[in-house]
Amino acid sequence: MSITLIFIWILIFLFWFVYRKYKKNFDEFESYGLKYMKPWEGVGSFFKIMLLKITMFDAVEDFYRKFSGQKVAPALSILNQRVFLIRDPTIIKQIAIKDFDHFVNHDKTVDENLDPVIGKNLFTLRDESWRKMRNSLSPIFTSSKMKMMFGILSETADDFVDFCNEKLESEGKIEIDCKSIFVRFAVDGISTAVLGFKADCLRNEKSQVYEMVQKIIKPPSSGIFKILIFVFAKWLYKLLKLKVLPPDVYEFFKAAIVNVMKEREEKGIFRPDVIELLMRAKRGQLAAADKNNEVNEAELSNFSANPEYEVKSKNSIIWTDDHFIAQGHLFFSAGLATSSVVLETVAYYLAVNKNYQNEIIKEVDAVENPTYEAIHKMKFLDMFISEVLRLWASPFLNRECNKDYKMDFGDGIVINVKNGDFVQFPVWSIHHDEKYFPNPEVFDPYRFSDERKGEILNYYMPFGIGPRICIASRFALMEVKVLIFKILSKFTFEACEKTPKKLKAKPSLTEFQFTEDIIVELKPRDGK
Ligand code: HEM
């Protein structure tokens, strides 16, 4: 037999062996009587995303619409990974909340063995390690701690208003590129609240914090390449000893958190920020309740803020420097782009909806003393932000099954979800589905009015769902509300020639972007 023939036989055998593995899954999906997505269909979308032809929103929406008759749409990736797109909000709730013990983890991104820092952050941590960390960090984000941090965020918002006044004086008008200016505000906000120092990025784009942040939110193409190697060839990632976090970013967070903690401990310095709370967490002295700062949440309008889930863990965490660096880095990577995009879109919808803006201004003017409570009692502001979060939520959320699970539709179909399978929740598509939100493309904050909001909580998940929900939703909402309050106390948002007529997401491999920059004008209010 010639070498060529042997080679052909080996190839045929390999092909048959691999095909059998795929076929087993096809047969199983068919046995449920469900249509499913074949691996090559997924490859098509993957390449379109990589070639910047479509956005992740488009890809998930196509998948969602294609299987409109089904509660669950199974799919098989090119690597034979089983994925279940859960189209039905009731099943999503069942999986993410009631049966959470089977779906504790986000998908396999970076684990602790591959990258000791990124692998230790709350988002990537898994199983018991995640429980311990979530348990430790949750008290940082309760409303009493938010109230403690309100003062420093409020000062950052005042500084933003001063900056606008300076711009008005020097340039005669305030035309803002919302993306750039709100990213800088969010960096200032997070660095004051988390790291305890003023980064002053509004005025100084060369600030060290801003430079670090650019590396975090806009990873260079080498970073994207590393992530691809990680996803498709972990062995190569290990062999090349790659690290997701660049060394200078690591050193920056080490100096800003670990060294600062040591200094504060030695000198007995107190500042009402996250570093202080992390120090208390390390000492095991971080109580969820805080007698001096109690807040009656029931009196506040905070529709999107997460409910608190009790996450139990057997042991408490033994903190290392890398644990602190990982969380510090995560607060920036998870918190900046998200809250700045919300601010950007809030500014846009205010500028193009003057009637709604006037309603919020009436609420602003009725507040005599802008405390944490007063700002969180502004009902219409809360409804307005909730609607922005509905329209621009993330395309989907992921969970990985960590314990075999029987997904029961209640109509005779029971799907076997196996350890290692993924489930996906198509948040954006549900938020834009006529079935759950009538006239979904219409910007209508009144969906969230007391009379109408009844059912919405069942379909609405801008901050995720279940115990793995965004830990910092209260922080993010406070940041957005306090800035909008301060701006509207002095200025109005006005659409100008450069303001886009419609918002559309732009295909991108890194940060979220709109096809057109959102430019609006801030005009001083009469007599303010
Ligand atoms: C409006 C702004 C924000 C939005 C829309 C948002 C949204 C989300 C979503 C959708 C998730 C995944 C939840 C899930 O899987 O169910 C998440 C997780 C997370 N977010 Fe946010 N987020 C925002 C701001 C922030 C900020 C400011 C921080 C930190 C300061 C933060 C820290 C985190 C962390 C640590 C997780 C991981 C939680 C875990 O796995 O236990 N987020 N966020």
Domains in the chain and their CATH numbers? 18-110+394-460 (no CATH), 121-378+467-528 (1.10.630.10)
Say yes or no: CB of residue 277 within 6 Å of ligand 1: no
Residues facing residue 174 across a β-bridge: 522
Q: What digits encode the pLDDT tens for the residues 265-295?
A: 898 888 888 899 899 888 887 776 666 777 8
Residue 418 DSSP class: P
| CA-to-CA dists, residue 53 to 189, 226, 329, 505, angstroms | 34, 22, 31, 12
Which atom of ligand 1 is found nearest the CA of 467? 41
- How would you classify the pairing of strands 397-400 and 422-425? antiparallel
Of 181, 186, 164, 141, residue with least CA distance to 482: 186
What gap in Å lies between CA 380 and CA 48, rounded to an integer?
40
pLDDT at 220: 66
Ligand 1 centroid from CA 17, angstroms:
41
How far, in Å, is the centroid of ligand 1 from the Cα of 480?
15
| 425 within ligand 1 shell (Cβ under 6 A) | no
Q: Relative to the CA of 477, which ligand 1 atom is closest?
A: 1
Ligand 1 proximity of 342 Cβ (cutoff 6 Å): yes
Query: Which residue, among 496, 491, 490, has the nearest Cα to 522 in the 3D structure?
Result: 491
Q: Could you tell me the pTM of the whole model?
A: 0.92
Asked if residues 320 and 119 have their Cβ atoms less than 8 Å apart, the reply is no
How many Å lie between the centroid of ligand 1 and the Cα of residue 465?
10
Report which DSSP code applies to 101.
Answer: G
Q: Does residue 195 contact residue 279 with C-beta atoms inside 8 Å? A: no
Rounded Cα–Cα distance for residues 207 and 269 (Å):
24
Q: Where are the alpha helices (DSSP H) in 254-299?
A: 260-267, 274-282
Alpha carbon nearest to ligand 1 atom 41, residue = 468
**Distance, CA 5 to ligand 1 centroid (Å)?**
55
Residues 463, 470 contacting (CB under 8 angstroms): yes
Distance, CA of 516 to CA of 236 (rounded, Å) = 39
- Which of 129, 83, 449, 88 has its CA nearest to residue 320? 129
Nearest-CA residue for atom 19 of ligand 1: 470
| CB-ligand 1 contact for 341 (6 Å cutoff) | no
CB neighbour list of residue 51: distance below 8 Å, 6 or more residues apart: none
Ligand 1 neighbourhood includes 326 CB (under 6 angstroms): no
Spacing, Cα 442 to ligand 1 middle (Å)? 26
Structural element, H or E, at residue 495 = strand 491-495
467 lines ligand 1 (CB under 6 A): no
| Annotated binding-site ranges for heme | 470
Beta carbon of 385 within 6 Å of any ligand 1 atom: no
Q: Which residue's CA lies nearest to atom 9 of ligand 1?
A: 463
C-alpha of residue 123 to centroid of ligand 1, in Å: 8
Cα pseudo-dihedral 398, 399, 400, 403, rounded to 10 = -160
- 476 touches 338 (CB < 8 A): yes
CA of 463 to the centre of ligand 1 (A): 6
Pairing of β 422-425 and β 82-86: parallel
Atom 40 of ligand 1 has which residue's CA nearest to it? Answer: 123
- Residue 173, classified by CB atoms within 10 Å of its CB into exposed (0-12), middle (13-18) or buried (19+), is exposed
Instruction: Report which protein residue has its CA nearest ligand 1's atom 42.
Output: 335
Q: Pick the atom of ligand 1 nearest to 476's CA.
A: 27
Site of tokens 């379909």: 459
**Helix (H/G/I), strand (E/B), else coil: 492:** strand
What 3-state DSSP class applies to 201?
coil
pLDDT for res 90: 94
- For a mutational test of ligand 1's pocket, the pick from 463, 465, 477, i.e. the residue with the most ligand atoms closer than 8 A to its C-beta, is 463
Which residue has the CA at smallest separation from atom 1 of ligand 1? 339
| Ligand 1 closest atom vs CA 106 | 15
Interval between CA 470 and ligand 1 midpoint (Å): 3
Residue 221 is predicted with a pLDDT of 66
CA distance 409 to 233: 36
Q: In this predicted structure, what is the pLDDT of residue 115?
A: 79
Cα 38 from chain centre: 29
Q: How far is the CA of 473 from the centre of ligand 1 (A)?
A: 7
Measured in angstroms, how far is the CA atom of residue 122 from the centroid of ligand 1? 10
Q: Could you tell me how far CA 54 lies from the centroid of its own chain? A: 21
Q: Is the CB of 331 under 6 A from ligand 1?
A: yes
Which parts of the chain have pLDDT scores under 50?
none
